[in-house]
Amino acid sequence: MVRSAHGMKEGRVLVVDDEPMVRETLGQVLTDEGYVVDLAVDGETALERVHAARPDAILLDLMMPGMNGRQFLQALREEPAYADVPVMIMTAVHGLEVNRATLGASDVVEKPFNVEELLNKVALAVYRSRESQPSLSQPLPTVPAVPAVNGAPEKERGVVLLVEHDRSRLQQLDMMLSARGYTVVSMTRALVQLSRLARALRPRAILLDSGSEGVDEVVRELADSSVLEQIPILVFSRGGDARILGTLEHAADVDLVSFVEHQRDRGPTP
């Protein structure tokens, strides 16, 4: 999930699907994550929703009656104000991702949905959208700003990628880091997209729970990437023997926050 520096989720997401069950379910999932969600049953209605409130990301079904997904995308991309809005195609056809550039889509979400993978794709799309077009993002409810830590400007805190299999601990650590001004992208297992997230976001640090699914593979991939060699990576354990070289055993939340703060003190990664 992506939180603001104030610990609240930010972003408006438009879900376009003619199937009521899919539309309402996704709407509820995204609302529960803290997003502002708009729903549309076809391309024509979706354009109306876009004009009424510019979304930060769009989840779009291609096969719809009336104006279908392809026609909607063509119409959307022809309007300069919305040409760069991230659009994720929802499809049951595997392998469509190779054609996403032709379609004008930024990503593909395959059905049946892996909810956690979907949420992380939405989080990345919303983050990119709000970073590239902050003046165009729709205003959301405001909360008091968190004071700067050690006098550092809030905008310089950066992103932290966090993988923790225990949801309660993940939420606690997420909130601790968010309260210190970081933008936290968190998940309960190390997705195959994690290295891509790291390349796109250039995080201040990556924190990986050694007990989370997929961590071993992701650590090897990150270690083999010259693009990511300057990003500090900490693989931590909540107890028991360390399974990966460099693991911090019996790590408490405060230890992990201290690790990230140390990287901040060293300055931005090159």
Q: Return all residues near 84 (Cβ < 8 A) that are at least 6 apart.
A: 129, 132, 133
Query: For the chain, how big is the Rg over CA atoms in Å?
Result: 19
Low-confidence ranges of the chain (pLDDT < 50): 1-8, 98, 135-155, 240-246, 267-270
How confident is the model at residue 110, as a pLDDT?
80
End-to-end CA distance of the chain: 25
How confident is the model at residue 101, as a pLDDT?
61
Convert 83-106 to b/e letters by CB count within 10 Å (16 or more is b): eebbbbbbbeeeebeeeeeebbbb
CA distances in angstroms from 15 to 52, 54, 59, 88, 201, listed in the order given: 14, 13, 5, 10, 24
How confident is the model at residue 14, as a pLDDT?
97
Portions of the chain given CATH number 3.40.50.2300:
12-132, 149-265
How confident is the model at residue 53, as a pLDDT?
94
How confident is the model at residue 229, as a pLDDT?
67
* Contact assessment for residue 163 and residue 209, using Cβ atoms and an 8 Å cutoff: yes
> What is the reported pTM?
0.55
Superfamily of domain 149-265: Response regulator (3.40.50.2300)
Class of domain 12-132 (CATH, top level) = alpha beta
How confident is the model at residue 51, as a pLDDT?
95
Structure tokens at 194: 């994690």
